[in-house]
Structure 1
Amino acid sequence: MIKTIDARQHLSILVAGWEGGGNVPPTLAAVRALADRGHDVRLIADDTMRAEAIAAGARFLPWKRAPNRPDRTFESCFIRDWETADSLAGFQRGCERIFVGPAQAYAEDILEALAAGPCDILIGSDLLFGSMLAGEVARVPTALLASNISLWPLPGHPPFGPGFQPARLAADRARDAEVSAMVEQAWDNFLPCLNAARAHFGVAPLAHVHEQPLSAGRHLLATSSSFDFPTEHLPGHVRYVGPLLEMPSWAHEGWTGQPARAMRPLVLVSFSTTNQGQADVLQRVISGLAGEPVEVVVTLGKALEALHLQSSANVTILPNAAHDDIMAKAGAVVTHGGHGTIMRSLYHGVPLVILPMGRDQNDNAARVAYHGVGLRLDPSAAPRMLCEAVRRVLSEPSFGDRVLALGRTIAEEGPGAARLVAEIEDFVQRSAQGALSAA
């Protein structure tokens, strides 16, 4: 008998997550929102997320066969992209060790969880191909949650990775086509591994790796359409739900400025909660701002809190601080360009100086530059250049005006948590109606 779903009923939801740093808060925010709505939520993820998942209202299941991080130290990281300066090598490590390589193991763990109890919907990760495969094998409605912009370029967007601006000229379009082909080939280097996992479960092979995400009925982007590049049209399975900003559980340290320096502009410096080999960049930022008439607060994270940085009188270094209180008083943010940090900066109306170091950061920085809400520098920039960039965003009113306008527009789109819940409930209801029609 086919079960009919009413959005007012409690849904049984399985969420698949993994410990990748910036993707964790959006995943937990989604879990919290669905649990607060009254749905029964299970989260299968790394043991690092256990306490946070339970606090958010979910029942927790650990990965058994798939990679499982016991803690958030950089020693336990599987990808370890800080060990190479080659962004392609970092991408390949991610594919080999998390995204595609262990697809069979991730799928087996998820299928075991699906068999253990009822499930109306599987919410997978846009980077865990095993979660997509499990949904396809189990024939359960599957939505993919992207913690930021789309990994797969939307119509009219440049390819993900290099941080290009949208194409305007024929040369730009030729550039995009060439790089897109290179990116597809980089993914397809792992096609034999993915197809081996598919063969294990008795499903047909794919021609390209990027076909696997299409098995999911919804792709939910936890970013703002106003922050993203304009798109020619939005594919029917893609939805913007807005930023999902959840403060990490370890970010509890407060900051109190020195009264004698209270009149100085405040600059927040934040370079990820995971290790990307950013000690040198952080030190150059501190050196560039040393002696400037600004108050500097540097926040680290669980993987960086043991860094030994040479400071100066106008710099405070906090191992595990929350950002909202600092950003409420800040005049500029200097960052690697993680999506969560950027969204919080826009929410608080603070212009940015971005030094992207890989992953999604080049593409986030490209959007900041596109909207004119900050400056993008090479991470190798000298301290003098870093200082000059901070001076510009602090002194030129256009940056502040544009960031305030963009922040208001994003806020007007509505809270991401509520929009995500609405999308999930709508998707489950439509899936049930479609199954009834096909019966």
Structure 2
Amino acid sequence: MDMEPTLAPTGRLRIVVAGWEGGGNVPPILAAIEALRARGHDVTLVADDSIAGDARAAGAHFVGWKRAPNRPDRSAASAPVRDGEWPDPFAVMAAWSERIFLGPCEAYARDLIDVMTVRPADVLVASDLLFGSVLAGEVAQIPTAVLAPNVSLSPLPGHPPFGPGFLPAANAADHERDRAVAGAVEALWNGFLPHLNAARTSLGLTPLARVLDQMHAADLQLLATSAAFDFPVAGLPEDVRYIGPLLREPSWAAGSGVGFEAAAGPRVLVSFSTTEQGQGAVLARLVDALGALPVEAVVTLGDMLEASDLPARPNVRVVASASHEAILPRATLAITHGGHGTTLRALRHGVPLLVLPMGRDQNENAARVEYHGAGLRLDPASDAGTIAAAICRLIDQPAFAQNARRIADALHAEVPARERFVAEIEGLAARRRARPTCAA
């Protein structure tokens, strides 16, 4: 018999959130926690110790991973995978799958089950890449919502396969391309099916035929992006919801006081990954390109590089961190690797983008920027001359800024993402409470 979780007497939900230190996925998790706490719900975050301080500041009870991998800090030395050390994106994805996403899925599941035994939960908010977090919800029979801090990992109807950054298919050759790549991506995931099925068997569940079927065990898939940014969808699956981008500045970036100094002229913000992706070389070429142009630029590095690692140019200021919310209202252009948070924050301010994707979800975000005419994408190996030409095109041709502002208008017209997220979690709990159960 399915045991129904019950609300606390006050009507407050008890919510367990699964998280991990993946760089750009952390601010949406913290934004989700702040939204739930603002509604008075009790929240426990189970995540890497590197997130503990921010989680507690957001109002969550924090529990670090015990069996599962646990990063003590955000340094490059503690990263389980350094993307630049692998020969191609498939090898990078396989490494992440082995070390975080799927290899330790039983450890993640058991850690969460232990927490929910001590701190009973009404709802579990799982991670779209921690397959063990969804497995824990299935074992514990807890209403489970998967939070994806970006576009859908599983392609939506009419979308190309996730990963290469293809535009939607326009002809028969494109459809054949999509089928071939989708098969290769499926094979990569299913290479880890023995890990997943061993965990399921150990936890008393039947094996699956596909790795991605594990995500269907969740009640909801919540995409923290916007339909206005995504490709058009040929019918959204019933359990998938767009909630809008959960944007939140990291504590170490907010309030830095760094901004543009010149009163006029094009102003450019440059921001690449806060995690290790081998971005030093492309940032050096970007500084060279910007140094030769009549622009003012601010480059934010995060913890992975020092300003001394890059060439010095009088019109380019290189800093460890800065508030993008303070800089973007005056920016003419943003240049980025294509992380979802940076991309959507720029678009929310109507700022066009030059995207040089380096892997992960970045090719997908770059493709959507290109599709909507809100910017350009370049190979990160492009030389300084090619980069400079793209920057000039984006500044000189007003259509890019007009299309970025069109997306900004759509984003501002949406119900705020935090409100939509809380409404989905509360609705999930209410539906599960109202569901008929078998008599004892």
Distance in 1, Cα, partners of 2:437 & 2:229: 38
Question: 1:256 Cα deviation (Å)?
Answer: 3.8
1:126 paired residue number: 128
Q: Deviations over 1:281-330 (max 9, x none)?
A: 00001101113110010001123347611120001001021211111111
Give SS of 1:64's match: coil
Structure 1: gaps spanning 5 or more residues: none
Write the letter of the residue equivalent to 2:26. Answer: V
The 1:412–1:437 alpha-carbon spacing in structure 2 relative to 1, beyond 3 Å, is farther
The 1:380–1:154 alpha-carbon spacing in structure 2 relative to 1, beyond 3 Å, is same
Contact 1:281 1:379 in 2 (8 A): yes
1:234 paired residue number: 236
Contact 1:159 1:176 in 2 (8 A): yes
1:388 paired residue number: 389
Write the letter of the residue equivalent to 1:422. Answer: A
Write the letter of the residue equivalent to 1:254. Answer: G
The 1:2–1:384 alpha-carbon spacing in structure 2 relative to 1, beyond 3 Å, is closer
**Of 145, 148, 167, which aligns to 1:146?**
148
Write the letter of the residue equivalent to 2:137. Answer: G
Question: 1:209 Cα deviation (Å)?
Answer: 0.4
Question: 1:8 Cα deviation (Å)?
Answer: 8.5
The 1:269–1:7 alpha-carbon spacing in structure 2 relative to 1, beyond 3 Å, is farther
Distance in 2, Cα, partners of 1:305 & 1:15: 33
Distance in 2, Cα, partners of 1:188 & 1:8: 44
Contact 1:5 1:429 in 2 (8 A): no
Question: 1:275 Cα deviation (Å)?
Answer: 1.0
**Superposed, which structure 2 residues align to 1:155-166 within 5 Å?**
155-166=157-168
Distance in 2, Cα, partners of 1:438 & 1:415: 41
Contact 2:223 2:244 in 1 (8 A): yes
Q: Deviations over 1:19-76 (max 9, x none)?
A: 0000000000001100111000000000011010011110000001100000101110
1:299 paired residue number: 300
2:270 paired residue number: 269
Q: Deviations over 1:390-427 (max 9, x none)?
A: 11111111111111111111111121011000011011
Question: 1:164 Cα deviation (Å)?
Answer: 0.5
The answer to whether the aligner puts 1:88 opposite 2:82 as a matched pair is no
Question: 1:89 Cα deviation (Å)?
Answer: 0.8
Give SS of 1:10's match: coil
Contact 1:368 1:375 in 2 (8 A): yes
Distance in 2, Cα, partners of 1:201 & 1:180: 30
Distance in 2, Cα, partners of 1:285 & 1:438: 66
1:176 paired residue number: 178
Distance in 2, Cα, partners of 1:350 & 1:367: 15
Q: Taking structure 2 as the reference length, what is the TM-score of the superposition?
A: 0.97
Contact 1:79 1:98 in 2 (8 A): no
Q: Taking structure 1 as the reference length, what is the TM-score of the superposition?
A: 0.97
Give SS of 1:236's match: coil
Give SS of 1:328's match: helix
**Of 247, 253, 257, which aligns to 2:260?**
257
Write the letter of the residue equivalent to 2:210. Answer: H
Distance in 2, Cα, partners of 1:50 & 1:95: 24
The 1:343–1:285 alpha-carbon spacing in structure 2 relative to 1, beyond 3 Å, is same
Contact 1:31 1:56 in 2 (8 A): yes
**Superposed, which structure 2 residues align to 1:29-68 within 5 Å?**
29-68=31-70
**Superposed, which structure 2 residues align to 1:300-339 within 5 Å?**
300-305=301-306, 308-339=309-340
Distance in 2, Cα, partners of 1:133 & 1:3: 17
Give SS of 1:32's match: helix
Distance in 1, Cα, partners of 2:24 & 2:304: 12
Cα-Cα RMSD: 1.6
2:191 paired residue number: 189
Q: How many residues in Structure 1 have an aligned counterpart in Structure 2?
A: 437
Contact 2:192 2:211 in 1 (8 A): yes
Question: 1:250 Cα deviation (Å)?
Answer: 1.1
1:279 paired residue number: 280
Write the letter of the residue equivalent to 2:368. Answer: R
Contact 2:35 2:422 in 1 (8 A): yes
| Superposition misfits of 4+ residues, deviation over 3 angstroms | 1-8, 435-439
Write the letter of the residue equivalent to 1:36. Answer: A
Distance in 2, Cα, partners of 1:40 & 1:426: 16
Contact 2:301 2:321 in 1 (8 A): yes
1:399 paired residue number: 400
The answer to whether the aligner puts 1:76 opposite 2:78 as a matched pair is yes
Write the letter of the residue equivalent to 1:255. Answer: V
Structure 2: gaps spanning 5 or more residues: none
2:417 paired residue number: 416
